[in-house]
Amino acid sequence: MVSTLAILFAAGLSLFLVWTLLRPGLPQIGSLEDWEAKRHEVDLAVLRILIDPGEERYLRSLFSPPEYRRMMRRRLTLALNSLDLIGENAAMLMKLGQLAKAGANPALAQEADELSHGALRLRVNLLLVEPYLRLKWLFPGWTLSVPAFEMPYEELLSYLNRLRQQQQLELSQALRAG
């Protein structure tokens, strides 16, 4: 009986994770221009400050416990909103990587593949970070450390830049040849 419940729980959790990673309703993109128009600007420096344990200790020493809890909930709400925007950006980058890989030369396909895989890793990382932030929001006095997640986002943006440069190189070569 217990093993059946554990299997059902694991299956339900797996379905939830797949749905979360591939959920509908995200902005549709078909090109780099769509990405530029629909992407969300997220200031990672501000996000780092919002979840920095050193900042939390400083605020704890500065405010009374009720004020500290109120302040932390505001900060964590902002951090969660930023994570949602990063997640939407990652979903669009996954789609952009798939589109670039579909009609690409081998060099471009490799960059597009790295972009898609990096975006998927970031979305999985966000699934791990969000529960931490939600627990901290419920219990702001707890000293939970938030797992690192922003580095994959910065890597994604560098993959995107390399993909953009590769596409521009192909376009200029096609114009010269044509």
Average pLDDT over residues 156-166: 77
Specify the pTM: 0.75
Tell me the CA distances in angstroms from 19 to 22, 25, 81, one per residue in order: 5, 12, 20
Q: What pLDDT score was predicted for residue 171?
A: 66
pLDDT tens-digit map of 98-127: 887 776 667 677 778 888 888 888 888 888
Q: What pLDDT score was predicted for residue 104?
A: 60
pLDDT band at 151 (very low <50, low <70, confident <90, very high): low
Give ∠ CA 102-33-22 in degrees, rounded to 5.
55
- Percent of the chain residues topping a pLDDT of 70: 79
Q: Which residues contact 48 (CB under 8 A, 6 or more apart)?
A: 150
Residue 175 has pLDDT above 70, yes or no: no
Residue 143 has pLDDT above 60, yes or no: yes
What does the mean pLDDT of the chain come to? 80
pLDDT tens-digit map of 19-77: 565 555 566 777 777 778 888 898 888 988 898 888 999 999 999 999 999 999 999 99
Q: Who wins on pLDDT, 8 or 136?
A: 136
Instruction: Check: CB of residue 129 under 8 Å from CB of residue 166.
Output: no
